[in-house]
Chain A
Amino acid sequence: MQTKRTIFSSKILPYWLILPQLAVTLIFFVWPAGQAVWQSFLREDAFGTSTEFVGLANYVAILHDPGYLNAMIVTVVFSIAVATVSIVVALVLAVAANSLLKSRSLYTTLLVWPYAVAPAVAGVLFWFMFNPTIGLIPYLLKGIGYHWDDRLNGTDAMILVVIAASWKQISYNFLFFLAGLQSIPKALIEAAAIDGAGPGKRFRDIVFPMLSPTTFFLLVVNVVYTMFDTFAVIHATTQGGPNQSTNILVYKVFTDGFIGLDLGSSSAQSVVLMVIVIALTFIQFRFVERNVQY
């Protein structure tokens, strides 16, 4: 490890240089977060005309709310499903694209495309395709005897949002896996091939272990993505329904705060989310950054 040291002639200059970044952080992150924490201790009517300090009552209330516990379970199921689907599919596609010689860059370009689509648009696209009244996929499913109804069947709704949320993320994961695959020394794979290892064994014993830092990094990133960036997907497709079966924590914060105008509870929920983000970020820095091999 080498650290570079720059000597500033003025003692104040460095502070001036970090001031813009510091200001942005304070105004756009620390201040609102502080307000959320403060609000989470209050009980207030929508207009803010009567305010009462209630301590931890909002936190106690959400922990006793079956809807909140349901949202926690839904979030866990949703994140694991999206992370698994998008990592597995991306890995398969990356291995397939990597084995191509001529058309690799063409496939890469095509596979990265979905990442440019906004989550809300992706949500609407899948909502249309899966719409029980006008969608194509329910029509095809009827052919094999399955009655698709994401408005009444919670499992169908969950499948829909998992597909819509994973679709985009596959592109992102694909890029990382492709880069990871290309950085594996060819010599290792060739040596294994000479020793008589087939493609399956080569993948299991050499390629996949070499990709494990990438996989772990993507796992954390994907979980963070599903927990916090999939609001638009949910909003455009199921809106948390049917009967809360796709109501993830972030979406509940929105509906309770902005539709229900219960700011205290909504703030308490976002503080809980904040704690989860901090924990995930900590895991990422502590374990992932250390193990990444370049």
Chain B
Amino acid sequence: MMKKLTLAAAALALSATSSFAATQITWWHAMGGELGKKLDEIVANYNKSQDKYQVVASYKGTYAETMTAAIAAFRAKQQPDIVQVFEVGTGTMMAAKGAVYPVYQLMKDAGAQFDPKAYLPAVVGYYTDTQGNMLSMPFNSSTPILYYNKNVFKKAGLDPNVAPKTWEDVESFSKKIMSSGAAKCGFTTGWISWIQLENFSAWHNLPIGTNENGFGGVDSKLSFNGPTQIRHWDNLKKWQAEGIFQYGGPEGGNDAAPKFYSQECAMVMNSSASRAGVINNAKDFEVGYGMLPYYADVKGAPQNSIIGGATLWVLKGHEAEEYKGVADFFRYLASPEVQADWHQFSGYLPITQAAYELGQKQGYYEKNPGSDVGIKEITLNQPTPNSKGLRFGNYVQIRKVIDEEFQALLGGKKSAKEALDSVVERGDKLIAEFAASNK
């Protein structure tokens, strides 16, 4: 106990020397590596720009770890002011009304200038309630796009400047690539759950769940076991057996990117935020970019893609003065210069119209082909109730269920229909449990 007290005192003394009168604002995040360094730079610049507030950013591990840490801290009344939460945690955060300080409310209370219309609707739509109020602050949002190997395309006799548009193209291109010996496999993908089921549904304007994909209430049911999704999963299984498609592993699909980098697979579907990594790793070949494929005979496709990534949530239980600082920091984060810089560095989507326009003015998208594919995808059409996003409780676990059932499918234990029916059945149970504990 004594040791703990001395430690705390030492920590206090240390922090006191760095900032005398400044109000401290704590921010827990999940950005490691290069992104973490960039984030620290943004924070340092903000701290330098004024002397009233001092933002202290701490890296807390993966998204799941960061969220768990913040929740545990909240239960122990040691919560940070700001926590970065991934999109699938949105349902949980929104339901925690006693714990979360909605951003629109915070901005109003702090008297900060705040215009929700300045934000890209496809991004903020995911994080607004049914009345259109913004609940959390978008920070890093991305959407899946298609990357392809131009050199392999050329070797296979394909036009390296034409990306496959439809799944039919993906299949025929892959066959050509494989039969010509240009590469061993046609395509792979990261994020089976996010890309090949959720985005697949939105992209084909098909419902993911009832209640407008869960936006309308907590007692929703999943519905992505429709005929088109079943057809797609059936195809993935067939393509895997033929070698056209190679599985990249559960969750983010750790093996997907290496298969693309080593030129084993000619195409990969992955987050638009992987762009910098792809360019760094694609040393011996040129990378092409394309939108997600769709089935040509499905009416309404392509609609628009949905986002992933994370937003910043403000937790209750601090002094009003700290929240003023949070509001000021958010204003800084949303400014076009900071946004454009972060977006261009990381490949995440710009969250405001102004940041996108600034990039256009700088000529960034012309100099960096492929960097605006994601923006084009999410703004392709006015989002429908099927393509606004999704919001279900316990969704972190449902993502896991999707991975498990997909593995059962590829492992030959289940058909596509059985696997997707099982996802829906198990997922509905998880959603019902969530609804019961969040009455």
**Chain A residues within 8 Å of B, Cβ to Cβ:** 43-50, 52, 132-134, 151-154, 239, 241-244, 255-256, 258-262, 264
Q: Is B410 an interface residue (CB 8 A)?
A: yes
Determine the chain B residues whose CB is within 8 A of the CB of A243 once the complex forms. 404-405, 407-408, 411, 413
Contact across chains for A47 and B75 when beta carbons are under 8 A apart: yes
> Is B439 interfacial (CB 8 A cutoff)?
yes
The answer to whether B75 and A261 touch across the interface, beta carbons within 8 angstroms, is no
A133-B98 contact, Cβ under 8 Å, with A43-B436, A151-B407, A241-B250: no
B255 touches A133 (CB 8 A): yes
Q: How far is A220 from B407 in the complex, measured between Cα atoms in Å?
A: 34
Nearest CB on A from B170, distance (A) = 21
In the complex, how many angstroms separate the beta carbon of A152 from the nearest chain B beta carbon? 5
Chain B residue with minimal CB distance to A239?
Answer: B250
Q: Which 6 A-B pairs have CB atoms at the shortest separation, nearest pair first?
A: A49-B98, A242-B407, A47-B99, A47-B96, A260-B397, A243-B407
How many angstroms from the CA of A152 to the CA of B250 in the assembled complex? 10
Asked whether, in the complex, the Cβ of B404 is within 8 Å of the Cβ of A244, the reply is: yes
- Determine the chain B residues whose CB is within 8 A of the CB of A260 once the complex forms: 394, 396-397
Q: Which of B71, B259, B408, B410 contacts A47 (CB 8 A)?
A: B71
What's the Cα separation between A241 and B255 when bound, in Å?
15
Q: Does B92 contact A (CB under 8 A)?
A: yes
Contact present for A47 and B250 (CB under 8 Å)? no
Extra inter-chain contacts (18) besides given A45-B96, A50-B98, A243-B413, CB under 8 Å: A43-B436, A45-B92, A45-B438, A46-B71, A48-B75, A49-B96, A49-B97, A49-B99, A50-B437, A239-B250, A242-B408, A243-B408, A243-B411, A259-B68, A259-B396, A261-B67, A261-B92, A262-B397
Smallest CB separation, B250 vs chain A (Å): 6
Say yes or no: A242 contacts B404, CB within 8 Å. yes
Which B residues are in CB contact (< 8 Å) with A153? Answer: 411
CA distance A244 to B98 in the complex (A): 35
**Chain B residue contacts of A259, Cβ below 8 A:** 64, 68, 396-397, 400
The complex places the Cα of A48 from the Cα of B70 at a distance, in Å, of 12
Q: Judge whether B74 is part of the interface by a CB distance below 8 angstroms.
A: yes
* Closest A residue, CB atoms, query B406: A243
Chain B, interface SS category: helix
With an 8 A cutoff between CB atoms, is B51 at the interface? no
Chain B positions within 8 Å of A43 at CB level: 436-437
Which one of B95, B250, B396, B438 lies within 8 Å of A151 (CB-CB)?
Answer: B250
Q: Is B403 an interface residue (CB 8 A)?
A: yes
With A152-B247, A260-B396: A46-B92 Cβ-Cβ less than 8 Å: yes
8 of the cross-chain contacts (CB-CB < 8 Å) are A52-B437, A133-B258, A152-B410, A241-B250, A243-B411, A256-B397, A258-B68, A259-B400
Q: Verify if B125 is at the interface (C-beta below 8 Å from A).
A: no
B249 interface residue (CB < 8 Å to A): yes
B129 touches A (CB below 8 Å): no
Residue of B nearest to A153 (CB): B411
Residues of A within 8 A of B321 (CB): none
Asked if residues B96 and A46 are in contact (CB atoms below 8 Å), the reply is yes
Q: Are A45 and B64 in contact (CB under 8 A)?
A: no
B contact residues around A255 at 8 Å (CB)? 400
B286 at the A interface (CB under 8 A): no
Residues of A within 8 A of B405 (CB): 243
CB-contact partner of B437 in A44, A152, A154, A241, under 8 A: A44
Chain B contacts of A132 at CB under 8 A?
Answer: 255
